[in-house]
Amino acid sequence: MALTKIADGGMPSGSIIQGVSVKQGSGSGVGANSTDWHGTGFGKSITPSSTSSKILVLCSVALYQGTASKYYSVNLYRHTAAFTANGSVSGTQLFNDGLGFGAVYGNNGDRMHTKTCFLLDSPNTTSEIYYNVCHKEESGGSGIFDGYNIDSTIVLLEVVG
């Protein structure tokens, strides 16, 4: 590509043109309390500059499961608004419905895990969009998001399409 294209404001496909992030590790503890997906109150928004842009999502979340032989899972949703802690979810679910992008499970004792996801999303919009972390637990479980002052992070990078 000629340098004149870059000087004219055009960036080659694959260039990162915007980045935002958020970190949370308050130790406030949000229990899942549901076998359906619910918000954790943790998410971040970005406003793409073009409908052809991609959003590279980098997410790492700290989880705790205190009940043996029960799954505690996390997922990511794209929506036009932020989700509240244990509020209902809507929008586009970005990972599978079963266990999302990761789950904590063990046969005995307390379990703390960090689950990480990477996703190149195509939201096809120039409106503000939110990437919200959601959680659910198997019936009788005791999953907790942000319970032990272990940081969780989300990084959103706009990539030229």
Q: Is the pLDDT of residue 95 over 70?
A: yes
Percent of the chain with pLDDT over 90: 66
**Burial class of residue 67, CB neighbours in 10 A (0-12, 13-18, 19+):** middle
Comparing 35-49, 80-94, 137-151, the range with the smallest average pLDDT is 137-151
Report d(CA 14, CA 114) in Å as an integer.
Answer: 29
Given a contact cutoff of 8 angstroms between Cβ atoms, the answer to whether 80 and 90 are in contact is no
Q: Where are the beta strands (DSSP E) in the chain?
A: 16-24, 30-31, 38-46, 54-65, 72-79, 92-93, 102-104, 111-121, 129-137, 143-145, 152-159
Nearest CA-CA partner of 49 in 124, 120, 118, 119: 124
pTM of the model: 0.89
Six-digit token pair at 113?
């895990």
Q: Would you kindly state where each structural domain of the chain is located, as residue ranges?
A: 15-159
Residue 76, C-beta contacts closer than 8 angstroms, at least 6 positions apart: 57, 59, 93, 94, 95, 100, 101, 117, 119, 131, 132, 133, 134
Q: Is the pLDDT of residue 7 over 50?
A: no
pLDDT value, residue 8: 46
Looking at every residue in the chain, the average pLDDT score rounds to 90
CATH for the stretch 15-159: 2.60.120
**Span 64-89, average pLDDT:** 92
Given a contact cutoff of 8 angstroms between Cβ atoms, the answer to whether 133 and 145 are in contact is yes
Per-residue b or e along 80-102, where b marks 16 or more CB atoms closer than 10 Å to that residue's CB: eeebebbeebebebbbeeebbbb
Comparing 67-76, 79-88, 123-132, 144-153, the range with the smallest average pLDDT is 144-153
* 53: Cα within 13 Å, side-chain hemisphere: 25
Report d(CA 13, CA 61) in Å as an integer.
Answer: 30
